[in-house]
Amino acid sequence: MLLNWLRIYRYLLPVRACVRGHYQVDEPFSYGSLRFKNRIGLSAGFDKNAETFDELADFGFGFLEVGTVTPDYQPGNPSSRIFRLVEDESLISRTGFNNCGVDVALAHIRRHRKHSYILGVNINKNPLSVGEQIIKDFELVFTRLYESVDYFTLNWGSIDKESFAKVLENFTTFREAVNKRCSIFIKLPADIDEKELDLVISLAYKYSIEGFIATGPTMDRSELHQTKTKQLEKIGNGGVSGRGIGKKSQKVVHYLSEHTDRHFLIIGAGGIMTAEDAADMISQGADMVQIYSAFIYSGPSVVHKIGKKLKH
């Protein structure tokens, strides 16, 4: 419903100018070659096909992440695949990387990118790819998109560790060949343990990765205190985002901050529902924040509220 409204809003140019003026959050932040208008971003998963990111930027985001994008079109899991848990301010999702494929996503980005913001893309392989095809899938998406976006995000745990290292090695070689510093971030799952974190950090140092996004959803449902067990059983499998992540994301951010000597950009995500949550994430060591569930539950005003809180 919201995406359909944004497609109509796209053509209301005077209205858009007013909205941008009202929701604008000016708190410039720089990291390497990236120049952010502010420290608030929209997580991947909201604009999977890169159709409405330009319109979403009007509401105050300093950076937006589209996708997940795979080489080919993917139908994803059967509907329904996103469930609201209103009492717990959470979502359960099992989308299965439904997206239009890299060529259509690229066409959308070229057609719709009009204004000033940092644009990233979360990328992955086709679900059925194995072995060397995994490396080729990531290389295809990267080479198709690198001239049109500012950073790429790879999800730790979406492929095996050996393939993940090879993908990072390929990206490093490619960036050197084209002499373009398109940043690469690693998104971590909420349930990652310290041993895995140490491994990811070592890979990030080895392959000159710019930063981390911490974190994605959790499979743990112990923080869903208001939703009845029968309702959760009826929903079935899926990752929990929003308030139901609890403090998991903050703990990962704190660990990264303590064990990387501030060498990497740290973007806190997961469990940020209010301006106070965002401030707490920053206090744990995040440089920036990303939101998703908060935008769904609270609407565009939450971006401005977070911006004001972080500015102070």
Residues ≥6 apart with Cβ < 8 Å to 263: 205
Backbone angles phi, psi at 93, to 5 degrees: -135, 150
DSSP codes joined into one string, 183-201: EEEEEEPTT--HHHHHHHH
Beta-bridged to residue 63, according to DSSP, are 41, 118
Q: State the pairing for strand pair 82-85/90-93.
A: antiparallel
> Which residue type is seen at 184?
I
Which positions are annotated as active-site residues? 158
> Which residue type is seen at 242?
G
Q: How would you classify residue 181: left for phi > 0, otherwise alpha for psi between -120 and 50, otherwise beta?
A: beta
- Closest C-alpha among 170, 121, 116, 174 to residue 148: 121
